Amino acid sequence: MQDSEQISAMVEQMDKEANEIRQEALRMAWHMRGGLTYDQAMALGVNERRMISEIIKGNMETTKKSGLPFF
């Protein structure tokens, strides 16, 4: 019984991680306004997604500080 519980926990964790990746890819595609599609974002490696996320975060901070409209 313990093995099935461990497998269940592992599957739940993997599902959570997959959803986080999907959400990150959707967020990137939205921020890039067509410069990067969802499919392209999903094809990126972990390091590339992190780099793009950091660029987006920096751009958001700059936009907030400058008072320029974002949307």
Q: Per residue in 9-66, pLDDT tens?
A: 999 999 999 999 999 999 999 999 889 999 999 999 999 999 999 999 998 899 889 9
User: Distance (Å, rounded) from C-alpha 68 to C-alpha 44?
Assistant: 30
With a cut of 90, say whether residue 69 has pLDDT above it: no
With a cut of 70, say whether residue 1 has pLDDT above it: no
User: Distance (Å, rounded) from C-alpha 57 to C-alpha 28?
Assistant: 10
Reduced to 3 states (helix: H, G, I; strand: E, B; else coil), residue 58 is helix
Contacts of residue 62, Cβ cutoff 8 Å, sequence gap at least 6: none
Structure-block tokens of residue 55: 């660029």
The confidence band for 71, taking pLDDT boundaries of 50, 70 and 90, is: low
Q: Which residue has the tokens 């313990």?
A: 2
Global pTM?
A: 0.78
Model pLDDT, residue 29: 95
